[in-house]
Amino acid sequence: MNFTLLAHNMTEGASSEFSVPVVAYVAPCMLQDHAYDVVRVAWAVVDTDDDGRLSWNEVRAVYDDLYDVTHFFAAVDTNSDSLITWEEALPYYSFAEATVNELDIDGDGVYSPQELSSYFDDAMFSLVDADADGAVTCEDIDILLEAHYGEVGDTCDAEVWTALLWAVADTNGDEGLAFEEVFAFVHDEVFADLFFQAVDEDNSGVCELAEQPYARQYVSLALSVLDANDDSQFSDAELGPYFSEEEFSSADVNQDGVIGCSDLELL
C-alpha cells in the first residue's frame, strides 16, 4: 500500500506539523464519517410536513437569520417556487458536509445539545436524539434513517477498521503497538511517525490499547480521504492510488468489487 501518498493527501493544505485533535472521549462511530446520512436525516427532521421539500417557514424554524435565509433561497430555489427540493440542494452538498464537521466543536464524533443550540431548540434536539441519551450519535442516525427512509443503518465504522488494523499490526500479541510494529506494517517511516504523533498520547514509545480511541480519529481521517463518495465502503477506483491489484483482491474477501463491512466480518 502506498502510505506515503495517503499521508500526503491527509496532510495536504495543513501545517507542516501534522496533528489530530486529542479529546477525552472519542465515539466508536464518528458522525463525520457518515456526513451524507447526517445531512439526509437533518433534511427529514427539518421537513416537518414530510413532503420531501423544505419550505421557507421550515428553514426559518431552524435558522432565524432572515438575511441568510433570503440569500439561501435566492441561490438554491432555482424555479422560484419558495420550496427547496433535494435535487435543487444537492449542488450545495459540500457546504452541508462542511457544516456536519464544524458542528462537532470538540471533535468527539457526537453532537451535544450545546453544539446544536444555534440551530435546534430543545424540542427539535429531542427529535434527532432518537434514543434519548443526551447526544446525537450514529445510533440515532441509524434509527432515523430507518424511520424516515426505511433504510437500515450501516454501523461498520472507524472503530471496526481500527480494531482490525491494530490486531494485524500487533505481531507480538501484547495489545500495544511499538514503532517497529507500525513501521513493519506500513513500510513507511513518515506515515509511522504521523501515526505515533496522533496516537502515543503519553509519549511512552508504545501505542497502548487504552490509546486506541486516538487511533480511531486518525483512521477516521484516513477513511474520509479514501472514501470519495462517502458510502462507507471502498472501490478499486478509490483505493487504486494506494493499493496494488493484489492487495485489493486480498482485502476484498467476498470478491464483490468493494471492501466493506462484509469483508471485515469474514476476516
Q: What is the CA radius of gyration of the chain?
A: 20
- Give this prediction's pTM: 0.54
- Cα-based distances in Å from 64 to 57, 61, 69, 78, 250: 10, 7, 8, 22, 52
Q: Are strands 53-55 and 258-259 parallel, antiparallel or unpaired?
A: unpaired
Give the domains, in start order, of the chain with CATH numbers.
3-13+155-266 (1.10.238.10), 31-149 (1.10.238)
132 Cβ neighbours under 8 A, 6+ residues apart: 126
Instruction: Specify which residues 128 forms β-bridges with.
Output: none
Tell me how far the alpha carbon of residue 103 is from its chain's centroid: 13
Is 247 in a helix, a strand, or coil?
Answer: helix
User: Each residue's pLDDT tens digit in the chain (267 positions)?
Assistant: 555 566 566 555 444 444 444 444 455 677 887 888 899 999 999 999 999 999 999 999 888 788 888 998 999 999 999 999 999 998 888 888 888 889 999 888 899 999 999 888 898 899 999 999 999 998 899 899 889 888 755 545 666 778 777 877 888 989 899 999 988 877 778 878 888 887 888 889 999 988 887 787 667 667 767 777 777 778 888 877 767 788 788 778 888 888 877 776 666
Tell me how far the alpha carbon of residue 84 is from its chain's centroid: 26
CB 110 within 8 A of CB 104: yes
Q: Which amino acid is at 176?
A: G
CA dist., res. 185 & res. 118, Å (int) = 44
